Amino acid sequence: MASNKGVVSRRDFLRVGGFGLAGLAGALGLRGLAQDNGAPTSTPHAAHEATAGGVTGDYTPASQPVMDHGGMGTVGQVDHAANEFDPHEILTDFDYGELTEEGGRAVRTWRLVAIDREFEIAPGVHFPGWVYGSQTSAASRRLGRLVGQCPGPTLRCVEGERLRVEFVNASSHPHTIHFHGIHSAVMDGIPGVGPGMIQPGGRFTYEFNARPFGCHLYHCHAVPLKRHIHKGLYGAFIIDPDPATHSGEEAAAARTRNHTYDESQAVNEMVMVLNGFDTNFDGENEVYAANTVAFAYGMERPIPIRRDQPQRLYLINVTEFDPINSIHLHANFFDYYDHGTTLRPTLTTVDTIMQCQAQRGILEFTFEGFEPGLYMFHAHQTELAELGWMGFFDVK
């Protein structure tokens, strides 16, 4: 059952207007809808300077509230310490597991645990989730114990390695892990095949070779799927290309995408898992986000990046109840690698792409030569952006 803390339906947001917005703004804490005292919402920047008609100086019409395009956000802050995970930590945390060698072959092992836990997705809005945790994630290492998080840890390995995922179901419901990639049927993590559903208290070890290289994901495949996925059982799964299997320009590109090579250290890498949350379980999302928390990378906590460093964004859409999600990068363009399974871009010089659920890809871009400042990114479905899926790069 959903938590009753701060539950507001999306239909309420769509049908209210005027005075009604003030009440809803207080309920969910949305900034830019209304203030408690009914006064216009102030912007984080100075008032607009008007130059039309030769007039200069501060210009704020008394009849129009001052609301910049970047004014969307929330009132208050999510308690990341209570959540035990932080979207800014998830953004750059790659969980490499434990690497060993058997018979001359690299073997990479993780232990993933499924647990039930509540977490905060917007100030005062709590969600009763089902999540994965790993002993080798940044959050677990930081706290010295297993932390369940949403999205789950970003598992990262290298093409050709043998992978072992020791799964423990410590939750109250049957679960599985289904990995997008190539493996045998018995390792597919679906009901009725191989081990099937892993019951509460049960365990199973998934084992397969890492292929193909790319930007993948893993998620629970228990039924009903829309519930098990939507509740938080998913995470990024990245297989780095092996440069030894390529030549020329493709080998050089593979080295920049393989975390064991020095060339990859020159690139700033990030992971964003696009998700949404149906807080009242009516089949529609009330909150949208990248890495779970609404406006996690908004003006109060933008993502700092360097102008002189290439950027690589692993983007994965796991949004339930909506047919597509998207990303639009303001004032810039990027190259896109659909599913990340190629070393040459599948789209070049674009600023917007769409992804259906489970679709993913890699964005590569740079802000070299740009003016420093805040550069927005968001879903180009305006409703998704206004309900939390929006952020900024703080270009230094």
Task: State pLDDT tens for residues 214-267.
Answer: 999 999 999 999 999 999 999 999 999 999 999 999 999 999 999 999 999 999
| pLDDT value, residue 71 | 61
Q: CB within 8 A of 262, min separation 6: which ones?
A: none
How far apart CA 358 and CA 230 sit, in angstroms, is 12
pTM of the model: 0.85
| pLDDT value, residue 72 | 76
Scan for tokens 């509460």, then name that residue: 200
Task: State pLDDT tens for residues 145-162.
Answer: 999 999 999 999 999 999
Task: State pLDDT tens for residues 178-209.
Answer: 999 999 999 999 999 999 999 999 999 999 99
Q: Is the pLDDT of residue 35 over 70?
A: no
| Dihedral in degrees, nearest 10, Cα atoms 312, 129, 198, 237 | 0
Percent of residues, the chain, with pLDDT higher than 90 = 81
How far apart CA 95 and CA 238 sit, in angstroms, is 10
Task: State pLDDT tens for residues 281-300.
Answer: 999 999 999 999 999 999 99
Q: Please say whether the beta carbons of 72 and 59 come within 8 A.
A: no
Task: State pLDDT tens for residues 114-144.
Answer: 999 999 999 999 999 999 999 999 999 999 9
Bridge partners of 393, per DSSP, are 303, 375
More confident residue, 318 or 70: 318
Token pair in block for residue 352: 């917007």
Task: State pLDDT tens for residues 43-102.
Answer: 333 333 333 333 333 433 344 444 555 467 888 999 999 999 999 999 999 999 999 999
Burial class (CB in 10 A: 0-12, 13-18, 19+), 57: exposed
More confident residue, 15 or 176: 176
Q: Was domain 274-395 assigned CATH 3.40.50.300?
A: no
Q: Do domains 81-266 and 274-395 have the same CATH topology?
A: yes
Q: Is the pLDDT of residue 379 over 60?
A: yes
Task: Provide the pLDDT confidence category of residue 347 given band limits of 50, 70 and 90.
Answer: very high
Domain ranges of the chain: 81-266, 274-395
Task: Provide the 10 A C-beta neighbour count for residue 278.
Answer: 21
Residue 331 CA, distance from chain mean position: 22
Full DSSP string of 271-317:
EEEEEEE-TT-SSS-SEEEESSSTTTTSTTS-EEE-TTS-EEEEEEE
> In terms of CATH architecture, what is 81-266?
Sandwich (2.60)
